[in-house]
């Protein structure tokens, strides 16, 4: 158990100490700081309901005479509960936040390591790049790649290159840069002696020591004057240059790297001096060894990316904004390849993955499931003590860093300017995740089945546009599933804000929620635990929702959007030859053959709508049907197609279907190998066909 220290921040919050089961302090960070110091003497962890003075409490703990045995923990109840218009009704919410903060930390995950020696490349116009090179050169090993010429420094304090960048790839400690040297003068070899300037008859060379092609008439006097140095070469054939660096400061307005999330060690402040100075401060501290979490876990055995040399599901590759995910084919089997150094932990790849082959692991979904239950249990227990029932909370999901800034800023604005800003209603529980893109349909539906009345995703505007689109698509799909069961809508929605709107958008949305009040439960509280497997979580929650549906699903099911990760397939029996290519392509075992007879079977529960069977089918006889069937129907093994078997005319063994043999005879009957009496070979199994060819000299 934790020692809970709760402060009403100089009586600005109406806290109910009896209901919360704690003593309420008024100035814990000032006059009552002795209470905190005394708490440090115990062996239990200390939970402080204040993030405003986090730095102070940590400093006091490190300067204490006694070493801290258990960790310090902090939780914000002020901006999210105590400083809102519903502060007096927020005791259940505060109980939930305290319970969440008391939970054990998630299991540690593997780490990704970086090593940087401080080799910095500054790319951009010389008049901007050189001053930063002079300043940063004292701390870092600086090189400059000039994209626009300017007066070169007389002293060669650092390497200077010129040209056009053609490729820039990598991450902190391992950037690779290619560029083309366009000018006859190579600034890296130039000694700035000025001999070329003196002999140039057109004044085509100035202090930048680059030749102005508009003035130059190619007299080559400069090249002759530089023959002893070799920096000038009009006939240079090899113009390509390349080098490796640890850090990149890209001052160009149109950088090579166009992803929304840049890799570690790459900065593009543009031409803004203030942004450049912020980046310079970060660069100085990026020398040494660093690590970050490995955000994902990948199971290639259930990956639906590729089979038989063809690509099916490509969702994670298409959504990744950092270029961290690629494709690999080996022995006909396709899988994805994730570079953990480039992965920035948005988790949207796991959200769009239909099979759960790639999953977000920071923290695991099983840990998040426990967090949801702990919050709900504490909230409902306090709500019950107050005599209120059937008022489930709303779960407000947000990215941990930027979302916390938005929510706390809104709470502060609501406290100081209550007439203009609306804080979080008492029934809205904020829940921070590493990135808003890391949760998807199965997580939201499980949260609803646990007892939340609705799910709201708070988007800050900093997300990649593709992420927002993917989340909206998943929310629409989830709502369509709930609608199919006859459950109330909307249950899952998005709030899209930006830092520029000064909390106005989120304030308006919170006011709407407060006037409307809490939503009813979607269904009675589920008892199953959220695991780490996406499909298992999805199946469990669909089973729960179906049991409590107010509308029965029609026998033919309910059609869903094309983005659905559940559904069936349709077979054109007239075109299908039962070649079973689709069975070999299915990565999930949804399509099955029969060793004893030509029969194609299907288990809809296993299908992830990856499209591999559609692409693989040589007869184009398969199409996807995104739909929601009953749980019982989805578990059943059904026959999609079957045909009369064809027996080998030589040995009698079944080796295909009557239709397939007829098709082969129509297509191959005129081939020389099967002319005349050899036509019967098409009616033989592979073994008998070889024997016949050997006995009859082909």
**CA atoms of 473 and 465, how far apart (whole Å):** 12
Please give the sequence-ordered ranges of beta strands (E in DSSP) within 492-578, or none if there are none: 492-496, 558-559, 568-571
Q: Which of 109-113, 258-262, 512-516, 517-521 has the lowest mean pLDDT?
A: 258-262
pLDDT in tens, 226-256: 998 999 999 887 889 999 999 999 999 888 7
Q: State the pLDDT at residue 396.
A: 98
Q: State the pLDDT at residue 668.
A: 76
Centroid of chain to Cα 651 = 57
Residue 690 CB coordination number (10 Å): 12
Cβ proximity of 336 and 358 under 8 Å: yes
pLDDT in tens, 482-518: 999 999 777 999 999 986 677 899 999 999 999 999 9
SS3 label, residue 402: helix
Q: What is the DSSP letter of 106?
A: P
Short-list 572, 575, 559, CA closest to 609 = 559
Please check the confidence at residue 178 and state whether its pLDDT lies above 90.
Answer: yes
Please check the confidence at residue 676 and state whether its pLDDT lies above 80.
Answer: no
Q: State the pLDDT at residue 152.
A: 83
Please give the radius of gyration of the chain, using alpha carbons only, rounded to the nearest integer: 33
**CA atoms of 292 and 327, how far apart (whole Å):** 24
pLDDT in tens, 450-473: 999 999 999 998 899 999 999 999
pLDDT in tens, 291-347: 999 999 999 999 999 988 899 999 999 999 998 999 999 888 899 999 999 999 999
Same fold, 114-288 and 558-642: no
Q: How confident is the model at residue 357 (pLDDT cuts 50, 70, 90)?
A: very high
For the chain, what's the residue count? 698
Q: How is the chain split into domains, by residue range? A: 1-74, 87-106+364-551, 114-288, 294-360, 558-642, 645-695
| Averaged pLDDT of the chain | 92
> Percent helix, strand, coil in the chain (nearest 5)?
35, 20, 45
Q: What is the 3-state secondary structure (H, E, C) of 182-250?
A: CCCECCCCCCCCCHHHHHCCCCCECCCCCECCCCCCCCCHHHHHCCCCCCECCCCCCCEEEEEECEEEE
Fold type of domain 558-642: Alpha-Beta Plaits (3.30.70)
Pairing of strands 358-360, 296-298: antiparallel
Instruction: Give pTM, 2 decimals.
Output: 0.88
Burial of 453 per CB tally in 10 Å (0-12, 13-18, 19+): buried
- Residue 493 bridge partners (DSSP): 456
pLDDT in tens, 368-407: 999 999 999 999 999 988 777 778 999 999 999 999 999 9
pLDDT in tens, 406-447: 999 999 999 999 999 999 999 999 999 999 999 999 999 999
Fold type of domain 114-288: FAD/NAD(P)-binding domain (3.50.50)
Q: Which residues contact 666 (CB under 8 A, 6 or more apart)?
A: none
**CA atoms of 322 and 348, how far apart (whole Å):** 11
Q: How confident is the model at residue 680 (pLDDT cuts 50, 70, 90)?
A: confident
Short-list 80, 126, 100, CA closest to 378 = 100
What CATH number labels 294-360?
3.30.70.20
**CA atoms of 370 and 380, how far apart (whole Å):** 15
Q: How confident is the model at residue 557 (pLDDT cuts 50, 70, 90)?
A: very high
pLDDT in tens, 585-629: 999 999 999 887 889 999 999 999 999 999 999 999 999 999 999
SS3 label, residue 335: strand
């Amino acid at each position: 158990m934790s020692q809970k220290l709760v402060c009403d921040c100089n009586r600005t919050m109406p806290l109910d100490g009896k209901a919360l089961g704690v003593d309420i302090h008024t100035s814990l960070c000032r006059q009552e700081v002795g209470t905190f110091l005394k708490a440090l003497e115990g062996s239990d962890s200390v939970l402080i309901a204040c993030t405003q003075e986090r730095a102070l409490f940590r400093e006091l703990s490190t300067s204490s005479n006694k070493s801290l045995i258990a960790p310090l923990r902090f939780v914000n109840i002020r901006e999210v509960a105590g400083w809102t218009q519903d502060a007096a009704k927020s005791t259940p919410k505060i109980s939930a936040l305290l319970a969440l903060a008391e939970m054990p930390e998630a299991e540690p995950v593997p780490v990704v390591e970086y090593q940087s020696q401080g080799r910095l490349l500054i790319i951009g116009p010389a008049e901007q790049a050189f001053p930063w090179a002079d300043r940063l050169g004292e701390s870092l090993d600086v090189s400059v790649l000039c994209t626009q010429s300017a007066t070169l420094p007389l002293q060669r304090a650092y390497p200077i290159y010129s040209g056009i960048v053609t490729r820039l790839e990598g991450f902190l400690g391992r950037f690779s840069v290619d560029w083309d040297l366009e000018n006859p003068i190579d600034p890296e070899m130039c000694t700035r002696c000025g001999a070329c300037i003196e002999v140039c008859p057109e004044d085509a060379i100035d202090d930048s020591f680059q030749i102005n092609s508009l003035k130059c008439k190619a007299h080559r006097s400069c090249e002759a004057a530089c023959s002893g140095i070799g920096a000038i070469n009009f006939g240079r054939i090899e113009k390509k240059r390349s080098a490796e660096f640890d850090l990149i400061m890209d001052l160009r307005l149109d950088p090579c790297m166009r992803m929304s999330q840049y890799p570690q060690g790459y900065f593009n402040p543009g031409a803004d001096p203030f942004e450049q100075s912020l980046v310079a401060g970060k660069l100085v501290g990026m020398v040494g060894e660093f690590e970050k979490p490995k955000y994902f876990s990948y199971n290639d055995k259930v990956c639906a990316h590729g089979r038989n040399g063809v690509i099916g599901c490509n969702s994670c590759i298409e959504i990744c904004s950092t270029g961290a995910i690629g494709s690999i084919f080996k022995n006909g089997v396709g899988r994805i390849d994730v570079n953990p150094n480039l992965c920035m932990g948005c988790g949207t790849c796991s959200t769009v993955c239909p099979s759960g082959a790639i999953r977000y692991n920071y923290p695991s979904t099983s840990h998040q499931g426990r967090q949801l239950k702990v919050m709900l249990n504490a909230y409902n227990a306090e709500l019950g003590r107050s005599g209120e029932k059937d008022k489930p909370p709303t779960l407000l999901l947000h990215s941990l860093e930027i979302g916390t800034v938005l929510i706390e800023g809104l709470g502060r604005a609501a406290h100081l300017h209550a007439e203009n800003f609306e804080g979080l209603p008492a029934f809205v529980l904020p829940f921070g995740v590493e990135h808003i893109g890391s949760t998807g349909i199965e997580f939201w539906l499980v949260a609803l089945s646990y007892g939340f009345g609705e799910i709201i995703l708070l988007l800050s505007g900093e997300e990649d546009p593709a992420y927002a689109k993917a989340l909206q698509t998943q929310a629409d799909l989830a709502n369509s599933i709930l609608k199919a069961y006859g459950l109330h809508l909307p249950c899952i929605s998005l709030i899209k804000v930006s830092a520029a709107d000064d909390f106005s958008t989120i304030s308006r949305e919170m006011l709407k929620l407060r006037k409307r009040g809490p939503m009813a439960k979607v269904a009675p509280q589920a008892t199953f635990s959220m695991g780490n497997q996406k499909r298992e979580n999805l199946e469990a929650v669909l089973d729960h929702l179906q049991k409590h549906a107010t509308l029965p699903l029609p026998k033919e099911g309910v059609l869903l959007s094309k983005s659905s990760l559940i559904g069936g397939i349709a077979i054109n029996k007239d075109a299908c030859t039962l070649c079973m290519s689709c069975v070999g392509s299915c990565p999930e075992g949804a399509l099955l053959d029969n060793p004893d007879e030509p029969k194609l079977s299907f288990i809809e529960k296993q299908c992830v709508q990856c499209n591999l069977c559609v692409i693989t089918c040589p007869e184009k006889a398969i199409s996807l049907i995104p739909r929601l069937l009953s749980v019982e129907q989805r578990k059943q093994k059904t026959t999609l197609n079957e045909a009369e078997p064809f027996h080998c005319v030589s040995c009698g063994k079944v080796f295909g279907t009557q239709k397939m043999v007829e098709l082969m005879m129509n297509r191959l009957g005129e081939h020389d190998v099967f002319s005349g009496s050899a036509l019967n070979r098409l009616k033989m199994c592979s073994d008998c066909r070889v024997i016949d060819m050997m006995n009859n000299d082909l």
